[in-house]
Structure 1
Amino acid sequence: MRMTEENKRAQTRRIAEGAAAAFREGGFDAVNIDAVMARSGLTRGAFYAHFATKQALLETVARDCHPLLDKLRAREGEPMAGARRILRDYLDPAHLDAVRTGCTFAALSGDIARAPADVRSAFEAAWSEVLGELARGTDRAPEDFAAPLALATGAIGAAAALESGAAQATLLNGAWDALDAMLPPAT
């Protein structure tokens, strides 16, 4: 039986989401195709019907698998108030483990920095979309949100590298204080 285009797109998305979760948890180099496909609930043979290489899969993950972007797009009400709530939640020390393994920006920046230009370009496109979402409803340019976004995602990576919960909380709460001062007020 032939797969419809709609089913193929859905399966491609399923593989990419499974890969994104696996890559965020273990790192790109440590996760093989078998692990990705097991995470996606599909066979290794199905991988090659969707992606030529693991690097091509990383490009898709870098472009399309960003829960932070999804949350910003879905926010309702006053855009900056919603963005502030999302970012405060993002930097909440109680959510560090979930964000560390749930944010492609925070978890995979190092892997993507070492990837080929097409992967970095896909990541940059998603980064630009987040900047646009942060600027939505404000009088600021998207580029004005680059430093706050870098602060937030970098703080997650740095906090995850710390051993002590107290040190993690100090870092994340300090990052929020700095970020709060950088963001436009909620209206």
Structure 2
Amino acid sequence: MVRYSKEHKQATRKHIIETAGRRFKRDGIDGSGIATLMADAGLTNGAFYAHFESKDDLVATAVADQLRVLNANVVEQAAPGIAGLEQIVRWYLSPQHRDSPDDGCPSAALLDEIGRCTDATKQAYTDGVLEVIDGIAARLAPADPGSERSKTLSVYAMMIGTLQLSRALADRELSDALLEEGIHNALTALGIKQSG
């Protein structure tokens, strides 16, 4: 039997988490079996249990990882202050994000399923969302981000719903118009003045 280094095992686990996160967002949690998830990672089904106790364990881990990636790649990369808030809103409600669910926010892709998941997954989701929300709120109120947490969470929920609906519409023009209106509504709710 071949023994792998600790680093190899960690890299393999990370690869499984990343590929599973993309698959979950594309096909849903219920629509993604262990065999498919492991095939995506280029591994056998038997290797799964060397890294995770159950599919629920992988789901919680992948959801947390996807939110960490969203925070690192979108929220933390945005400019400081109001300019950064506008960047985040415009990215989130963009046609590119709408058309690439497997590379986007896990909330818009998986929220209905996460609500039916285990408490561990819900807690991983809650912790990850609060990290994203706090990063956004820090641009709204740098001196006291906590004072803007509820407002920011409400705007985030509005953006999630707008993105979900835009993905479900068959009429591309209507979908695009919805995204534009969503941007306007989110920026207004955040108190950001817009020209025009």
Per the TM superposition, whether the score is higher than 0.5 is: yes
The equivalent residue for 2:32 is 31
Alignment of 1:12-27 (within 5 A): 12-27=13-28
Which residue number corresponds to residue 42 of structure 2? 41
Select between 142-151 and 98-107 the one with higher mean Cα deviation: 98-107
> 3-state DSSP class of the match of 1:179?
helix
Deviation at 1:73, TM superposition (A): 4.7
| 2:75–2:88 Cα contact (<8 Å) kept | no
Range that drifts further, 49-58 or 134-143: 134-143
1:12 Cα deviation from its structure 2 partner: 1.4
Residue matched to 2:93: 91
Gaps of 5+ in 1: none
TM-score normalised over the length of structure 1 = 0.89
- Aligned pairs for 1:106-117 (under 5 A) are 106-117=108-119
Query: Where does 1:60-71 land on structure 2 (aligned, <5 Å)?
Result: 60-66=61-67, 67-71=69-73
Q: What's the secondary structure of 1:18's corresponding residue?
A: helix
Identity of aligned residues (%): 30
Alignment check: 8 A CA contact 2:89 2:187 kept: no
Conserved in 2, the CA contact under 8 Å of 1:15 and 1:37? Answer: yes
Aligned residue pairs, count: 186
1:12 maps to a residue whose letter is R
Q: Which runs of 4+ in 1 moved over 6 A?
A: none
**Distance (Å, rounded) in 2 between the aligned partners of 1:102 and 1:37:** 21
Kept in 2, the 8 Å contact 1:24–1:104? The answer is yes
RMSD: 2.1
User: 1:80-121, CA deviations, whole angstroms, 9 ceiling, x for partnerless residues?
Assistant: 422321320221234411146522111011111011111111
Work out the CA distance in 2 between the residues paired with 1:158 and 1:100. Answer: 16
51-60 or 35-44: bigger deviation: 35-44
Unaligned ranges ≥5, structure 2: none
- 1:132 aligned to 2:139? no
